[in-house]
């Protein structure tokens, strides 16, 4: 081959190589963007900007839930260079074997994308860590916020935050592994409003892992939007007082503003400090609380179901008056052969029957409601009577879950004709089978929130609003909508009669709740003793005040404590006095309630019963 021919071959080879390079560069820069991303990873870093979660306030503007800054230590595996494992473990307070495990886990996820190495380090701790992070290429800090609870109250109502599980990540594209989500209480119910919207920030870093500034002046950054604040109807002082009064007791307190349905206090006892379920100690503390024999994680105010006991008598009175089976002046002898009762004068009217809480009286009342003689067959007649009675109960919001802005709320139970047909068989039962319902026992079950709502219904003389905790979202002026008003099937004229009976319960001789009296305020209430087959009976009390212009309705359950007037009524009156007057004028009552350890008393009672049985 001569020189001229070789020259053309060489030129062709150069042209071919150039074409290959041009095509390859075109592919890399235009078609395949993975190389662009890889080059960018070398000089820039994508940082997730977590929004501040919405705050939660009480009715007076006091913070119930706030935010505090924390930091996550992130790692990009491909940027990591050999380092002193022990030194890093000591710096971040992580066991040395977990340093290797976490780094390997991060590599398995992605060598190029950042992963969480250690989460939720406080600002003080991070300040001492940050000055040493430059020694560990590939590791950097990323800020976020954690919840803090300034008054340390209302743990069950507020809920807590926890890391999302894999199922939630799959279901909702908003969440990514490592994100937190509200669990229980307001945190869960209003998760979308509280969480806000995350943003992204791109920064340029040097070879020493130091941030040099924004990438392209923030051209590709997106803003984070803070979560919306919640403004609740809760009164922090009443809530805190209720929790103090219920220390060393099992039970609950629910208080409602009858004019709006706004919840003033929601106490479940035993409770726990909400700060226990925050930060790196959350999992450890949760396991401890979970194993506690007193079950402090159980929300008794929303989920505990009890027989209503004698407080059910005021509902029975109303339905019987409405049906016309009794009149205001109907009287019955206190015949203990029908059903047991305490000693008191015979009741010659509905008001006296409520005042004395006479069991045989309401036995006869319920008998007249169920057996109205509408059908000659006594079984069919009982079914007709119970059907009507059940409809009345539903109009009071019983036997159904209240439309409330909290998750996991139960609805109690009101027996119906199909219910008894399943148990006894169709046309196989009558009043004599179900008479215990007359005094709030048997198959009737309620949750404390329903009983507070019932007290609100009596305060309003026949109607109630959906109970709710949050009154406004975003700003105080953005009032929550969709709160329904519910009117019972009973005429308003009968409620004044019952209110007078409830006034006598508290304020007249022979009443069962003298311990609920508040100087200068007319309290209307009703005590109850809910039977407990596993131990001492539960004390129950519902009330509203003042009688003339009710501003608070309340229900108190104290488990295993006996008569309602001994413990439940005084606790309710102290909470009402605090709300209505912003002070407590009966330090002796306060002292007695605070010092009572009814859990210890309950244990001693069970030991006593056990010894008696062995004999």
Domain ranges of the chain: 50-232, 236-614
pLDDT of 416 strictly over 60: yes
Among 179, 188, 192, 190, smallest CA distance to 160 is for 188
Q: Which residue's structure tokens are 């309602």? A: 564
- Residue 209 per-residue DSSP state: S
State how far the Cα of 439 lies from the Cα of 300, in Å rounded to an integer: 22
Fold equal for 50-232 and 236-614: no
Sign of CA dihedral 499, 551, 153, 299: positive
Beta carbons of 491 and 513 less than 8 angstroms apart: no
State how far the Cα of 534 lies from the Cα of 177, in Å rounded to an integer: 45
pLDDT of 262 strictly over 50: yes
Instruction: Give the pLDDT band of residue 40 (cuts 50, 70, 90).
Output: very low
Helices (H) and strands (E) in the chain, counts: 23, 18
Instruction: Give the pLDDT band of residue 39 (cuts 50, 70, 90).
Output: very low
- Point out which residues pair with 268 in neighbouring strands: 252
Q: What pLDDT score was predicted for residue 38?
A: 45
CATH 3.40.710.10 holds for 236-614:
yes
**Candidate from 119-128, 404-413, 442-451, 465-474 with smallest mean pLDDT:** 119-128
Among 498, 497, 505, 396, smallest CA distance to 451 is for 396
pLDDT of 395 strictly over 50: yes
* Beta-strand relationship, 44-49 and 56-57: unpaired
Residues in contact with 341: Cβ distance below 8 Å, sequence separation at least 6, in sequence order: 334, 358, 359, 360
Q: Which residue's structure tokens are 């062709």? A: 12
Residues of the chain with pLDDT > 70: what percent? 87
**Is pLDDT larger for residue 529 or for residue 39?**
529
Q: What pLDDT score was predicted for residue 3?
A: 52
Give the tokens for residue 606.
């069970």
Q: How far is CA 458 from the centre of its chain?
A: 25
Instruction: Give the pLDDT band of residue 221 (cuts 50, 70, 90).
Output: confident
Give the tokens for residue 386.
């119970």
Beta carbons of 72 and 144 less than 8 angstroms apart: yes
Return phi, psi of residue 486, to 5°: -120, 130
State how far the Cα of 349 lies from the Cα of 250, in Å rounded to an integer: 36
Helix (H), strand (E) at residue 386: helix 378-395
State how far the Cα of 249 lies from the Cα of 559, in Å rounded to an integer: 7
- Residue 446 per-residue DSSP state: B
Q: What pLDDT score was predicted for residue 506?
A: 96
Give the tokens for residue 345.
């004068």
Segment 437-460 mean pLDDT: 96
Segment 293-314 mean pLDDT: 95
Segment 143-171 mean pLDDT: 91
pLDDT of 283 strictly over 50: yes
Radius of gyration of the chain (CA): 33
Q: What pLDDT score was predicted for residue 113?
A: 80
State how far the Cα of 163 lies from the Cα of 326, in Å rounded to an integer: 59
pLDDT of 456 strictly over 70: yes
Average pLDDT, the chain: 88
Q: What pLDDT score was predicted for residue 610?
A: 53
**Candidate from 163-177, 336-350, 384-398, 482-496 with smallest mean pLDDT:** 163-177
Specify the fold of 50-232: Penicillin-binding protein 2a (Domain 2) (3.90.1310)
Question: How would DSSP label each residue in 276-318?
Answer: GGSGGGHHHHHHHHHH-TT-TTS-HHHH--B--GGGGHHHHHH
């Amino acid at each position: 081959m001569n020189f001229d021919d070789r020259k053309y071959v060489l030129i062709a080879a150069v042209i071919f190589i150039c074409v290959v390079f041009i095509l390859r560069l075109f592919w890399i820069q235009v078609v395949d963007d993975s190389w662009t991303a890889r080059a960018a990873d070398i000089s820039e870093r994508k940082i997730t900007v977590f929004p501040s979660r919405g705050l939660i306030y009480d009715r007076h503007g006091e913070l119930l839930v706030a935010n505090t800054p924390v930091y996550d230590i992130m790692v990009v595996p491909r940027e990591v260079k050999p380092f002193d494992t022990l030194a890093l473990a000591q710096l971040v307070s992580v066991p040395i074997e977990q340093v290797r495990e976490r780094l390997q886990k991060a590599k398995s996820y992605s060598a190029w994308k950042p992963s969480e190495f250690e989460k939720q380090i406080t600002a003080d701790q991070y300040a001492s860590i940050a000055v040493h992070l430059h020694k560990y290429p590939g590791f950097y800090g990323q800020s976020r916020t954690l919840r803090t609870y300034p008054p340390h109250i209302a743990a069950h109502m507020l809920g807590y935050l926890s890391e999302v599980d894999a199922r939630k990540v799959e279901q909702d594209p908003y969440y990514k592994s490592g994100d937190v989500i509200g669990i229980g209480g307001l945190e869960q119910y209003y998760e979308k409003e509280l969480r806000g919207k995350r943003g992204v920030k791109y920064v340029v870093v040097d070879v020493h892992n130091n941030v040099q500034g924004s990438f392209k002046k923030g051209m590709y950054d997106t803003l984070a939007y803070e979560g919306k604040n919640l403004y609740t109807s809760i009164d922090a002082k009443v809530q805190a007082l209720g929790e103090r009064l219920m220390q060393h007791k099992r039970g609950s307190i629910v208080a409602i503003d009858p004019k709006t349905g706004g919840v003033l206090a929601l106490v479940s006892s035993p409770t726990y400090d909400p700060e226990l379920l925050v930060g790196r100690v959350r999992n450890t503390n949760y396991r401890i609380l979970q194993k506690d024999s007193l079950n402090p994680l159980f929300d008794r105010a929303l989920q505990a179901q009890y027989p209503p006991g004698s407080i059910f008598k005021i509902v029975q009175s109303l339905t019987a008056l409405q049906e016309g089976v009794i009149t205001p002046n109907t009287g019955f002898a206190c015949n203990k052969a029908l059903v047991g009762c305490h000693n008191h004068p015979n009741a010659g009217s509905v008001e006296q029957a409520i005042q004395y809480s006479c069991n045989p009286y309401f036995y006869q009342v319920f008998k007249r409601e169920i057996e109205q003689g509408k059908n000659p067959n006594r079984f069919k007649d009982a079914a007709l009577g119970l059907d009507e009675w059940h409809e009345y109960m539903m109009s009071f919001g019983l036997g159904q879950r209240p439309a409330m802005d909290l998750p996991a709320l139960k609805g109690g139970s009101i027996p119906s004709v199909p219910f008894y047909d399943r148990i006894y068989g169709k046309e196989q039962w009558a009043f004599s089978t179900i008479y215990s319902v007359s005094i709030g026992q048997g198959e009737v079950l309620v949750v404390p929130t329903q009983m507070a709502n019932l007290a609100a219904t009596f305060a309003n003389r026949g109607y109630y609003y959906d109970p709710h905790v949050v009154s406004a979202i975003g700003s105080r002026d953005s009032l929550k909508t969709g709160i329904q008003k519910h009117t019972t099937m009973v005429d308003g004229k009968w409620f004044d009669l019952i209110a007078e009976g409830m006034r006598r319960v508290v304020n007249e001789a022979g009443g069962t709740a003298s311990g609920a009296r508040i100087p200068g305020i007319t309290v209307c209430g009703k005590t109850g003793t809910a039977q407990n087959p596993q131990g001492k009976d539960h004390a129950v009390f519902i009330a509203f005040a003042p009688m003339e212009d009710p501003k608070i309705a309340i229900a108190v359950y104290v488990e295993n404590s006996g008569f309602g007037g001994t413990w439940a009524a005084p606790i309710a009156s102290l909470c009402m006095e605090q709300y209505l007057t912003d002070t407590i004028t009966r330090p002796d009552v306060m002292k007695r309630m605070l010092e009572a350890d009814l859990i210890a008393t309950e244990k001693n009672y069970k030991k006593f019963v056990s010894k008696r049985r062995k004999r």
